[in-house]
Structure 1
Amino acid sequence: MLPPLQADTRRTATLPQLLRQARSIARIDVGFFFRRAKFVWSIAAIALIPALYSVIYLSSLWDPASHSQALTVGIVNLDQGLVYRESNFNVGQELSQTLQNAARFNYRTMRTAEEARLQVRQGKLSFALIIPANFSSNAVPGEQAGAGQLVVFASQGNNVETARIAQQFAAELGHKVNGSLNAQRWSLVLLNAAGSQQSVSQLNRGLKELHQGATELSVAASNAAIGAKSVQTGARQLSDNVAQLTQNSKKLGAGLRQMETSRPRNAELRRLDAGTDALVNGVSELGQGLQQLNKGSRELATQVSLFKEESDNSFLVSATGKGSVTQAAQGVQQLDQGLHTAVDSGQKLEDGAKTLRAGVNTLTAGVRGMNNALRTAVGQFPEDAQLDALESGSAELTLGTTQMAQGTEQLSSGSKRLQMGLGLVEKAIPDMGETPEGSPEGLADSVRPVVEMDAAVQNNGIGFIANVIPAALWLGASIAVFVVNLRSLPKQAKPYHPVAQWLGKLLLPGSLVLLQCLLILFTVFVVLQVNVVNPWALTCTIVSAGLAFLCVISALTCFMGDAGKATAMVLLALQMTSSGGVMPVELSGSFFATLSPWLPITWLAHGLKASLFGAYEGAWLLDWVQVSCVGLGAAALTMLFGRWRFVPVRQLKPQLDL
């Protein structure tokens, strides 16, 4: 007990007195705790809790990089390769092999992009790298920046830190692939530059030949200039002759058109043919008549000769009569001779008429042919406008040849300057080899990974809400059990059914936990204004988890007393670390990764992410059932094996010291 004091020393005590008074008070508390062994063990446990907290948290964060192989990453290589500058490239295959050899993550090769995306959504893969089929064909030439796209697919709702690692991986991957491609391009450039000395020698020889060719070109250009002047002179003469030809052609055309106008018509030619035919027929009839006259004159001459002989022999005829008969006989003979001559002339006339008819027919046929030819000539003879165009064209030809002559003179002058310039560069320029194709931006940054996020969250704070709410619910349930003396029941409740005892004892803290859940929901929907994918699933999950955690903590307290409350706090730290609240649980070590699938807060975090962001393909029901079953199991154990102390009602006052 405390020693009595001589006077009130609360205002005037010295330092030794203060120390002596404090030691006396502490001796009483220490003596009380060390009288019973379980209090000693409780003090040891209390002393151990901070160190245990430190070990749990620090061991999970000690060296995350050393556990990166625990993250499972999918690789889908669809790259079909490329033949570039006679070299085969398959950047996707090289990249996949390089990543697997580096073994930074636990890479899993997959066949299709759809399968990889599905497993990322389900949480079986941390993220996935998808190499498209045209990756090499877009990345190697470097035609434009970011042409070769690598797809990094992650689910931000599944784990914000894993999504951040995926983004960092994408950035590093793009830098490494661009560096590798640049190295391969430069190797091609240096390979071409290795033969630059031989190229310089070839260039020297080529320049000498080019110089010689330029000399020959200069000579040829001078000759071409002389020839162009000759062509210019000839073109001028041609222009003059064409002008004269045009004038004469116009006159010829006018004459042909005049002849075509004055030519005999076909009707006139037909009348001429008909007249010659009639002349031939008349001459023929005249010949026939003359022949008949000739025949009659012969008969007449014969009769006259007979009559003359009779008259000469007759004495009845006088001499005058005989003389007249003689004259008549002579006249008939002359008539016969004349008719004979006329017959011959008629025959000649008939032959001449026939000849005339043949000539006239030939003449008319020729005239007809001449008419057709004349008509054709007049139709096809160029018009005056065409002849004028010919004359203007010849003038333009003269002008063109003049310009050509001037151009050849300039060509001759330029070829001479080319000859002089090639003589100056004949020492050669080194061959730089083949320059890389593509644009500068494309060659420098041809690969640009694209990060595709599934179940995206609004910001990082909201991304951690699925890990904060479980801790808040567990902490709220731990605080709620302090409201009542959880292990004590009134004496009159001793004969009550265990279910009634348990329900009656947890009604007040359960109501408080339910209020906590409603306030958390109000914070999520109203204060933070989170875009919740499935509000009803979120409500069921939070309410069921809060009550389930209360059942677990009450069971620990009922069986272990206040040590159960301390154990609940240690379990909170262990579950938060093992559920991936700070970072992906795979990076915390095999112990936490193995423990994670068996902890209620892990299930709750999964269910919250599914209902909040649509992560894990929105599959929240199984996690809700698991958490609820843990609460029901803890409640059943408490009801069946709980250790209650039955005390008077006056000893059931709240444990809160207010």
Structure 2
Amino acid sequence: MLGLIQFLRQTRSIARIEAGFFLRKSKLVWSLAVVALIPSLYTVIYLSSLWDPGAHSTALKVGIVNLDQGLVYREQPFNIGQELTETLQSSAQFDYQVISEVDQAKQQVRKGDLAFSLIIPANFSANAIPGEQAGAGQLVVFASQGNNVETARIAQQFASELGHKMNERLNAKRWSLVLTSAAGSKENVTRLHRGLQDLHDGASELSAGSKLLTKGAKSVHTGAQRLSGGVSQLTQNTQKLGAGLRNMEASRPRNSDLRKLSEGADALANGVHELGQGLSKLKNGSHELNTEVSSFKEEADNSLWVTPALRGNVTLVSQGLQQLDQGIGSAVNSNEKLEEGARNLRVGVNTLSQGMRQINGALRAATAQFPEDAQLDALDAGASELASSTQTMLQGNEKISASTQRLEMGLALVIKAVPNFESTPAGSPEGLADSVRPLVEMEAAVQNNGIGFIANVIPAALWLGAGIAAFLINLRVLPKHAETYHRTSQLAGKLLLPGALVGVQCALILFCIWGVLKVDVVQTVPLLCTVFSAGLAFFCIISALTHFMGDAGRALAMVLLAVQLTSSGGVMPVELSGSFFATLSPWLPITWLAHGLKATLFGAFEGTWLVEWFKISAMGLLALGVTTIWGRWRFVFVRQLRPQLDL
């Protein structure tokens, strides 16, 4: 196994021979210095040219040809072309040159004396102010793309921004006219709108009332139908009642009959009274007779002269008189009751007579005031007509309800159609013309335009510097005495000098980033690791290509530089370069470096640089390993060794 001391000794032996070729001649020493400076000079020169193009835009000559004749619109004069010319000259964005002729301005553009020209037609105000159709007011920006593509792109961007600003200004003027003209009619239209609103509110209330009226009409119609049926039954029953009353009135007893009845009751009461008086006298006589017979019977019972037969007869007579006396007493009691009944009958008959007289009077009055059948028939017909009329009223109310609803909806449409000046925009004409301005929130901000190209320039500079360093020496030849050296020592000794030169190139590029370009680096140490690792990895890759392929490897390295710059997405998104480059991009070292530089310089990609650094370093170590294992050297005598540079 190769020891460290032996490795260092063998490496130094080969490196001293390579260094000796350069140190013996001052021209070669200066060439090394130039080679070390080339990547940093390339970086500074290229980025300086792109650093802040906008700061030098005043050096770009732009012609203005104003032919606008102006316009009097709604009693106000306008000359948009003159205003535009004065605005552009006061902005000092470019070096504006006022030219009177269109052909002269175009000729100067063709010759390259002007970057581009702005031509304002004579009818510009006349077409732009009314705004009758889109794009009526045309501004001509004349440029020559063949003279300079970037200048043509600036002209296109200028035309786009100018169109936006002119539309914004014209819209502000139009809004000013709209707001001014609207102020005069605002009050009348507002009154009309309010009146329509009140009318709509009244129609809404009328609609609601008509709905309630229709509902009530339905109830009335239902009640009228029930009333008609009830009146019909009432009429029939009333007619029957009238017929019965008339029959009763015709059959009632006459007052003479009632008087006779009263007189008969009085006579009956008087006869019963007289009968009672007679019975009382009879009772008294019977009592006296009974007393006399009882006395006679006692005497007969005590007399011896009275025969038993006579005595028995007297007893029979006495018993008969006693029975007669009892019968007369019962008759007297019954007569008293009969007399009382006769009195009650007389009172009842008198009361009945009076009541019947009153009933007779009431019957006569009721019969006289009771409606005739014709009147009851008319009432029945009127109730039926009322029910029919309520049906017609219900239908009419339903039509009124539907009409009020249509009226309400129509008024609502009219209110929407009439502008409501109470909601007129309250902003200024400028605000109404330009009310939306996008706000761009930028992550991983870049200081200026030039710094944005660093991710594309530094990889190119590192690859270019590594290629030039590899071209300084012959990477396929070693001195004869190194033939016995270990493969690792052979390659390390051969690459030590140009590798050190690459390290100097990396250091100078970092110095330019901090010292010359004054870039605010987000991650310092990762940037150091990324730049040095990338420079040495690129050198190892180019050295491997040159070792295996010779001059063809050098040419292939330059082709790879072009392919990688196109596919890295350093400046333009790689997706815009085409599917071939987009597919190739993730597998190229410069793509990894561009990603790592953006992460360390700007904090882009969330600052993730370690993976890219690892891939770049692994690619360089892979190139070294392949060259060490499979590389073939040509061994010559030291006197046959020569540097690649011919100075």
- TM-score computed with the length of structure 1 as normaliser: 0.36
- TM-score computed with the length of structure 2 as normaliser: 0.36
